[in-house]
Structure 1
């Protein structure tokens, strides 16, 4: 047997060749991996549909988000899948409607005075079951670094649901204070007086700097502008001296909005500085409508906690320079659509997933989606926030047990206590003032049949048991 003898020079030459080959393969692998965009999902808390200047506010100043809007696809009919925090977030991150996961509200479903509740509502779940597949878990499996910086509200620990990094996410629905010490277990307190929205943005900027060479999903759900209403003194003073607008005059709330806008601008500027903006999809939205006693959403009716338009319609912008053409669309979409949209955008197979949302990719590419019904289900009670301001069905509750749906320009409400229906044409009546249930019997019958079939299809609970405490 002949044994080959290699010189040291030959071995060195081979080693160098192998290193070059390995580097080339690594570069190609990285190129293949990084052609997918980074994703930043910014979710404001309780920010109303009309609480930004580009959405029509004449009081709040949001120059950074206005600039983003000019470079984005704006949805004027963007919806949250629920009218308050936890259920909306559960729907968004699972792509599933409320009957699937059972989170219908925050806390108990028996809200309000027991003697004014006609039926026993469906029990509410306060923790997202870990059997549900979440968006961050799918993105993590696809090679993305996943981070949440801000409000979680679906369990004690978001790291169990697909996130690699958590800064500030707990079961808390709002901060005890917007000024440090925050008393948020998952976020170390800063210097006394540090403002929470500033701090979360600092954390987000650090994340970008540290992971600029990785594919990442950054979920940035600000606690702002949820109560308690607290803001830096300088901004509060500014709005205290500014001329008020009808229904929008709260100086502290306005200051919170402008501070959030400033921080969104800081984050977007950092993307440009790091040369990440051209390969980053930024989505901006709110988890539900704003509290009407704090800020009116006229012409929309009501606000947070209600399934009239003011409680579920929200600002929504998709921004990806060079890939998504700036435009304004009236296409009705919901935050449940984010999950399938991102999977389609990234060419990730979603065939094995159960998703109630539909891909918005045709709209992002400049087209339209087929007309489809949107459904909301809330077999729970939510007490009034302000009887004079809420604009709810009655002064006692923002929500009584029921379902709602939208098909085209038509909106249907069903109330389970007495099986009453309300029908509105949103094109002619965006404020949902003229109930057409009696004058449009054919449309009422069509939508009722669709809604009841959907309730059966998703096994939606329809409570009917009388409440013995009701007189």
Structure 2
């Protein structure tokens, strides 16, 4: 369906929604209201960097409590291993080959002499032709705010948001302490902490819009670099770590500040008596930065398509509907967010999603049909600290290739040399033992499915040799 046809369908849906809101009532005679939606997307938070995921150092008491009566997804994945492509996928419901955003900035990262292929050119802005999650919710009667990092264009208000605070094309703040030098955010008092400020803006927005269905997209800049935490917390973690180089005191301070602020927002929902009818989604946009903090037991980190770069923490809570609290091991992806929310608001428009609704899994504990998950990255991304990143070589976290996960199996394909790596995630979560030679039938099956998926999505595969490459 073209965007113009979808827009017509959305206008009709809005009219139907408006009429329904005016006329529909529940069995007790009260008005039926759509749920508020709070989507908290943290930047670069690793899979095991919170208490509820077992971190022994970083303290997240508010998220730990929040997770105790929610669904925790232990096999949640980002659609891409770094910021911009992951966010583009989440907002559009489309995988990377559909929109062409594969990385941040140029795809020619690292030294040219180490790149065998000319990588696929990268797109840096999400085209307005894509219907975003915000646009779809707007057609369903929602008022929308983006408070924090946007990174997909100059202003999220061109993509369905009514309010934009702090969002631009910038991928990270110049400073976490005011003055911020952010054109989309007025400076606060000198020394004001950015995470605190965004939380205060979010609370203000909730208070102003508590009487109507709202979508609050809260993409915190934290815990992205630059590593800047409050002095008292940095000192706390410096003492706590006592020289343990697996962790980072400044990072720990940022994680705890994030948790404290999320606690404030959740408390606001409780005070306003709207918690029960608010769907809250918490996740990270990609894996944690291995050069900053260990992603153990996973291999690699942000920018890598080993588990450390794409597996992320995820909690979903909706008290009115989700009654079974649990840790669920179903593999899900950020591509599922958009279709799930459309299912929540009963929008039947055909958006041609690359993900699927997990609403039945959430509210009925009903297993979703097993499916394959795909990642495509025809680009290069240089190493920062090779030893910590556990990549295939010391030059790049990512070399051009694709990945498929199906059940317990995960296959990596590399375009430079055609190498294939197969891992059994049930027995080898750290992806240490490539068992492709022992399982040729599994490799053949997964590789064919990966090739077929690339054909279906018109995924570009770089083949041109780089004249600067030195063997």
Aligned to 1:3: none
Please give the residue correspondences for 1:425-440 in structure 2 after superposition, counting only pairs within 5 Å. Answer: 425-440=424-439
Decide whether aligned partners of structure 1 residues 224 and 33 sit closer, same or farther in structure 2, where only a CA change above 3 A counts.
farther
Gaps of 5+ in 1: 1-24
Whole-angstrom CA distance in 2 between matches of 1:41 and 1:245: 35
Q: Deviations over 1:350-392 (max 9, x none)?
A: 32x1210111112102111111000000000000011221111
SS at match of 1:388: helix
Structure 1: distance between partners of 2:434 and 2:142: 48
**DSSP-derived class of the 1:241 partner:** helix
Aligned to 1:93: 91
Contact 2:401–2:412 under 8 Å retained in 1: yes
Matching residue within 37, 40, 52 for 2:38: 40
C-alpha contact (below 8 Å) 1:383/1:396 kept by paired residues: yes
**Alignment-derived partner of residue 443 in structure 1:** 442
Give the 3-state SS of the residue equivalent to 1:412 in structure 2.
strand
Cross-structure match for 1:258: 256
Question: After superposition, where does 1:158-177 map in structure 2 within 5 Å?
Answer: 158-177=156-175
In structure 1, what is the Cα distance between the partners aligned to 2:138 and 2:245? 43
Residue 309 of structure 2 aligns with which residue? 311
Change (3 A) 1:33 1:341: farther
Partner of 2:112: 114
Following the alignment from structure 1 to structure 2, what is the Cα–Cα distance between the partners of residues 369 and 29? 30
Deviates more, 1:305-314 or 1:32-41: 32-41
Partner residue of 1:143? 141
Q: Is the 8 A contact 1:59 1:244 kept in 2?
A: no
The C-alpha deviation readout for 1:178-224, integer Å capped at 9, x for no partner, is 00000111110000000000000000000011111010000000000
Structure 1 residue 415: Cα displacement = 0.4
Q: Is 2:25–2:31's contact at 8 Å kept on the other side of the alignment?
A: yes
Q: 2:64 aligns with which of 34, 43, 66?
A: 66
Aligned twin of 2:383: 384
Question: 2:294 matched to 1:296?
Answer: yes
Partner of 1:182: 180
1:143-196 deviations in whole A, cap 9, x for unaligned? 000000000000001100000000010000000000000011111000000000
Ranges in structure 2 where 5+ consecutive residues have no aligned partner: 1-19
Q: How does 1:74-85 map to 2 (within 5 A)?
A: 74-85=72-83
What is the SS of the residue equivalent to 1:224? coil
What is the Cα deviation at residue 26 of structure 1? 8.7
How big is each residue's C-alpha offset from its partner over 1:337-362, in whole Å with a ceiling of 9 and x where there is no partner?
Answer: 001111111111132x1210111112
| SS at 1:176 equivalent | coil
Contact 1:58/1:245 (<8 A) preserved: no
Question: Max radius of gyration: which structure?
Answer: 1
Contact 1:59/1:248, CA 8 A, preserved across alignment: no
User: Deviations for 1:254-284, whole angstroms, at most 9, x for unmatched residues?
Assistant: 0000000000000000000000101000000
Describe the shift of the 1:401–1:33 C-alpha distance in structure 2 as closer, same or farther (beyond 3 A).
Answer: farther
- Written as runs of structure 1 = structure 2, the 5 A alignment for 1:25-36 is 28=23, 35-36=33-34
Q: 1:30 to 1:165 in 2, by over 3 A?
A: farther
- TM-score, structure 2 normalization: 0.93
Whole-angstrom distance in 1 between the partners of 2:22 and 2:133: 28
CA distance in 2 between counterparts of 1:359 and 1:410 reads: 23
* Aligned residue pair count: 446
